Amino acid sequence: MLRIAVQSKGRLFDDTMNLLSESDIRITPSKRTLLVKSSNFPLEVLFLRDDDIPQSVANGVADIGVVGENEFCEQQEDAEIIERLGFSKCRLSLAIPKTEEYSGIEYFKGKKIATSYPTILRDFLKSKGVNADIHVITGSVEISPGIGLADAIFDIVSSGSTLVHNNLKEVKVIMNSEALLIGNKQMGVDKKAILKDMLFRFAAVRSAMGKKYVMMNAPKDKVKEITEVLPGIKSPTIIPLADTDWCSIHTVLHEKRFWEIIGKLKELGAQGILVSPIEKMIL
């Protein structure tokens, strides 16, 4: 049985549980239960605070864990990064009152900065030769300048709306963060085998994200031109039809270029274009 530590609530919880669900690993969370077993996969989920996850994995309380890169870097626990998961993206930034003039990193010399990430901030300021007073806060860091507790903040930024609401402006991005899958360095062979199976499922789900399966009928004399505009995984599938002058072409398109490519296909004579969502894709 493999044990994974997962944040007990918030966006990272939602994104992680969605990934497990899409990988057909069934988990039924309960508000009263911290440890829940999957009903169809050798996995149990341990629900923890985000800042407890790195230590739990490093100490072997959990075999693996999903944690924000920002929290992993802050805690500096002896666990290894297994995979970047690509969701729950944010950034850690310095922000100051919007009425202040920002002249560069030297602005923070002698300033009091409120943060929940003192280790990351201290290392950054040291690398820039800036001495500042770091005030550690757990909770609503963004209100600190408004109540006179600090001159600036160093905190997580996603959309930036919280900064705007508190009359702050982002002036320096220190690091970008996303969800990481981390692992205990002493994991046994049996648990590594379960992990390998789980990662295979994760890869299939993530490969399908943002992609569509496209089928169309096309005149045979246009096949070469059509296939040249199709960015297929290897090459599109071409199937003969009852009408010998026509064929069916199947391929996978990324949503980012979908409408651009569909327009070109119609210009080249493609008809009956059918678009389907992709649940999983094995590469």
Q: In this predicted structure, what is the pLDDT of residue 30?
A: 76
Q: In this predicted structure, what is the pLDDT of residue 233?
A: 58
Q: In this predicted structure, what is the pLDDT of residue 234?
A: 67
Pick the CATH number of 2-87+178-207 from 3.40.190.10, 3.40.50.150, 1.10.150.530, 2.30.36.70: 3.40.190.10
194 φ, ψ (degrees, to nearest 5)? -65, -40
> Is residue 270 very low, low, confident or very high in pLDDT (cuts 50, 70, 90)?
very high
3-state secondary structure the chain: CEEEEEECCCHHHHHHHHHHHHCCCCCCCECCECEEECCCCCEEEEEECHHHHHHHHHCCCCCEEEEEHHHHHHHCCCCEEEEECCCCCEEEEEEEECCCCCCCHHHHCCCEEEECCHHHHHHHHHHCCCCCEEEECCCCHHHCHHHCCCCEEEEEECCCHHHHHCCEEEEEEEEEECEEEEECCCCCHHHHHHHHHHHHHHHHHHHHCCEEEEEEEEEHHHHHHHHHHCCCCCCCEEEECCCCCEEEEEEEEEHHHHHHHHHHHHHCCCEEEEEEECCCCCC
Return the higher-pLDDT residue of 232 and 220. Answer: 220
Q: In this predicted structure, what is the pLDDT of residue 188?
A: 94
Q: Are 39 and 26 in contact (CB under 8 A)?
A: yes
Instruction: At 273, list the tokens.
Output: 């274009």
The residue count of the chain comes to 283
Q: Give me the mean pLDDT over the 214-241 stretch.
A: 86
Q: Give me the mean pLDDT over the 35-48 stretch.
A: 95
Pick the CATH number of 210-277 from 3.30.43.10, 3.30.70.20, 3.40.50.300, 3.30.70.120: 3.30.70.120
Q: What CATH code is assigned to 90-177?
A: 3.40.190.10
* Nearest CA among 240, 276, 279, 282 for reference residue 258: 276
pLDDT mean across residues, the chain: 92
The domain segmentation of the chain, as residue ranges, is 2-87+178-207, 90-177, 210-277
pLDDT digit string (tens) for 59-77?
999 999 999 999 999 999 9
Q: In this predicted structure, what is the pLDDT of residue 241?
A: 93
**Residue 36 predicted with pLDDT over 80:** yes
Q: Hey, what amino acid is at 102?
A: Y
Write the CB contacts of 125 (distance below 8 Å, at least 6 apart in sequence). Answer: 108, 131, 132, 134
Q: In this predicted structure, what is the pLDDT of residue 32?
A: 75
pTM of the predicted structure, to 2 decimals:
0.83
Q: Give me the mean pLDDT over the 123-139 stretch.
A: 93
**Residue 232 predicted with pLDDT over 80:** no
**Residue 206 predicted with pLDDT over 80:** yes
> Is residue 159 very low, low, confident or very high in pLDDT (cuts 50, 70, 90)?
confident
Q: In this predicted structure, what is the pLDDT of residue 74?
A: 95
> Is residue 260 very low, low, confident or very high in pLDDT (cuts 50, 70, 90)?
confident
Fold match between domain 2-87+178-207 and domain 210-277? no
pLDDT digit string (tens) for 103-130?
899 999 999 999 999 999 999 999 999 9
